[in-house]
């Protein structure tokens, strides 16, 4: 079944305009090329450049977050490592990057101005921990809040999601008899104590996929929806109903994504305050001249064609790619 992608954003009855902060990253290293941080207004379709100068040698696909007047992102440079990059939104100034001694996978604003929460991975395969970052000093101070047991890392950043109270992480599971992972498991961790409050294996209906790709999550959910893959690393996705209330996470009533409209190589979708849609750059709907940002209704599975980012995003030698995405500090404004 192919998902219907609607051009009518107003059909959802939204009375607020969402603004996204999007990295338009350069795929060309050298020659004075660099990436930009853009603010994209999904109501007016207007795009504004906040800053330029985001280094082209860095990969800008990992999560970002806006906390007050600061924008933070987690660019990487392999094999050198990862960084915390900062933009001062009040002055439209790129403040540069600071090195991290771990590989980051998710990001959330902390309780104070100089505090962030992140999912940190150490070792290979990575051991995942919830970590607090203190930004107040010249060097970044870290504090481990909680640690997950040994799990399988499938390469998708979209498996991690913060609510106000917990971190949810959904991993692939590989049986000894299988060459690749075709199962899944879901964990939830209290972000205050680091206690794992939930752990269940995925049990799918006959013919339904079981590898988590992106799960609807507001905190303590008993039921919801999610996107699952038939196999670890594969773009064969389906939108399914999810029931967390029993001894296992039950997956049922799946709709196959035949045209790969959900596929974003595991880049995490973004949900902004007072907007029910989850936004992501669709690789499956990408063309030579633009990449669409789709809005996903996680209650129905409907996809909205929110805006097109113009650029050279396709082909073997494309000049740009759509990188990290988060909500603008002015993410929701009244249209009244």
Take residue 94 and report the two structure tokens written for it.
């790129």
Nearest to 130 by CA among 97, 154, 160, 151: 160
Nearest to 228 by CA among 249, 248, 199: 249
* Burial of 179 from C-beta contacts in 10 A (0-12 / 13-18 / 19+): exposed
Take residue 227 and report the two structure tokens written for it.
């996107």
Q: What's the predicted TM-score (pTM) here?
A: 0.91
Query: Which strand ranges, in their side-by-side order, compose the sheet holding 303-310?
Result: 5-6, 303-310, 290-297, 277-281, 270-271
Nearest to 159 by CA among 103, 217, 78: 217
Residue 33 is predicted with a pLDDT of 83
Q: Do 130 and 145 form a contact (C-beta atoms < 8 A)?
A: yes
pLDDT tens sequence for the chain (336 residues): 455 555 444 334 344 578 999 999 988 876 678 999 999 998 899 999 999 999 999 999 999 999 999 999 999 998 889 999 999 999 999 999 999 999 999 999 999 999 999 999 999 899 999 999 999 988 899 999 999 999 999 999 999 999 999 999 999 999 887 888 999 999 999 999 999 999 999 999 999 999 999 999 999 999 999 999 999 999 999 999 999 999 999 999 999 999 999 999 999 999 998 899 999 999 988 888 899 999 999 999 999 999 999 888 877 778 888 999 999 876 433 222
Which string of b and e fits 146-178 if b means at least 16 CB within 10 Å?
bebeebebbebbbbbbbeeebbbbbbbbbeeee
Distance (Å, rounded) from C-alpha 308 to C-alpha 306? Answer: 7
Residue 16 is predicted with a pLDDT of 54
Q: Do 282 and 264 form a contact (C-beta atoms < 8 A)?
A: yes
Residue 331 is predicted with a pLDDT of 46
């Amino acid at each position: 079944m192919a998902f219907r992608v609607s051009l009518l954003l107003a059909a959802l009855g939204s009375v607020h305009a969402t603004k996204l902060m999007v990295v338009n990253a350069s795929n060309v290293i050298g020659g004075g090329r660099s990436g930009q941080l853009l603010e994209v207004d999904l109501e007016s379709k207007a795009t504004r450049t906040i800053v330029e100068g985001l280094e082209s040698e860095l990969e800008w696909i990992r999560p970002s977050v806006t906390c007050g007047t600061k924008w933070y992102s987690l660019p990487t440079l392999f094999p050198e490592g990862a960084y915390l990059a900062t933009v001062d939104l009040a002055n439209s100034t790129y403040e540069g990057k600071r090195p991290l001694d771990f590989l980051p996978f998710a990001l959330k604003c902390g309780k104070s101005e100089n505090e962030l929460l992140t999912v940190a991975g150490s070792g290979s395969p990575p051991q995942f921990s919830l970590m607090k970052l203190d930004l107040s000093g010249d060097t970044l101070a870290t504090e481990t809040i909680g640690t997950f047991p040994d799990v399988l890392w499938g390469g998708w950043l979209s498996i991690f999601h913060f609510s106000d109270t917990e971190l949810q992480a959904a991993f692939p599971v590989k049986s000894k008899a299988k060459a690749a992972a075709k199962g899944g498991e879901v964990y939830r961790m209290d972000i205050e104590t680091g206690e794992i409050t939930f752990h269940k294996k995925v049990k799918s209906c006959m013919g339904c996929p079981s590898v988590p790709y992106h799960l609807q999550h507001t905190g303590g959910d008993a039921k919801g929806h999610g996107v699952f893959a038939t196999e670890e690393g594969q773009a064969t996705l389906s939108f399914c109903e999810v029931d967390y209330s029993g001894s296992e996470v039950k997956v049922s009533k799946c709709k196959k994504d035949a045209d790969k409209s959900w596929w974003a190589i595991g880049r995490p979708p973004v949900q902004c305050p007072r907007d029910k849609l989850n936004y992501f750059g669709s690789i499956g709907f990408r063309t030579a001249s633009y990449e669409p940002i789709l809005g996903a209704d996680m209650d129905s599975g409907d996809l909205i064609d929110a805006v097109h980012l113009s650029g050279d995003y396709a082909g073997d030698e494309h000049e740009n790619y759509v990188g990290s995405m988060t909500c603008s500090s002015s993410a929701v404004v009244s249209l009244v």
